[in-house]
Chains A and B, each alone.
Chain A
């Protein structure tokens, strides 16, 4: 149980375009979903926290107009990187907190490369 999927697993896009990443909890309802970014050999960096049906809470320094988060249901959250630039290239990972517990389960991650 407690499986989280992410799609796509890898994406290459041109500078200036937008990319949408989906995160789904497959066998449980997620009270809260989190979006992280991780650069090579660096630690996880929390970007934002989203609760179903409400606006996401962004961490300091993360542009909410650039990283659009939609948490449409208890099993789906999406992150859209708008007007992507090469410096946005990174490993984006979502996690979902199972309702009734405090356990976070991570998706497999999406490797974004902006050319």
Chain B
């Protein structure tokens, strides 16, 4: 079982819709959770970090964490074509950093 699992997609949503990206992790001791965005040919960019259960909002992005279910998600409201990218979920567990393989998102104009 992989440490961090993501649906590889591709996920397609129309412009203006909500994009929902999901991630599960295996280590219950995980303490910090991150979402990165990676455009094709570029390096990943940190867009959200979340450390406690519940929701954390930053602009059009909302990260949701449920430690009991070992689940973290990213919602993108009012999706724009510029949001089209691969989104990587990352989890820090005891000084080990694990990345998911990423979900490819396409926002259709």
Q: Given contacts A108-B42, A109-B42, A109-B43, are A102 and B99 in contact (CB under 8 A)? A: no
Contact with A along B38-74 (1 / 0, CB 8 A): 0001111110010000000000000000000000000
Contact yes or no, B92 A44, CB < 8 A: no
A-B contact count (CB 8 A): 41
Give chain B nearest CB distance to A65 CB in angstroms: 24
- CB neighbours of B101 from chain A (8 A): 43
* Chain A interface residue number, banded: 10 to 19
Contact with B along A71-115 (1 / 0, CB 8 A): 000000000000000000001010101000011111111000000
- CB neighbours of A103 from chain B (8 A): 32, 34, 46, 49
Contact yes or no, A106 B97, CB < 8 A: no
In this assembly, does A34 line the interface, its C-beta being within 8 Å of a C-beta of chain B? yes
How far does the alpha carbon of A15 sit from the alpha carbon of B49 in the complex, in Å?
41
> How many B residues have CB within 8 A of the partner chain?
19
Contact yes or no, B43 A93, CB < 8 A: yes
Q: Which of B68-109 contact A (CB under 8 A)?
A: 88, 90, 92, 97, 99-102
The residue in B34, B43, B45, B46 that gathers the most chain A C-beta atoms within 10 A of its C-beta is: B43
- CB neighbours of B41 from chain A (8 A): 91
User: Can you offer 20 A-B residue contacts whose CB atoms are under 8 A?
Assistant: A2-B46, A34-B97, A43-B88, A43-B100, A43-B101, A43-B102, A44-B44, A44-B88, A44-B99, A46-B97, A91-B41, A93-B43, A93-B44, A97-B97, A102-B97, A103-B34, A103-B46, A106-B36, A107-B43, A109-B43
Excluding A44-B88, A104-B97, A106-B46, 5 further A-B contacts by CB distance (< 8 Å) are A46-B97, A102-B32, A105-B46, A106-B44, A107-B43
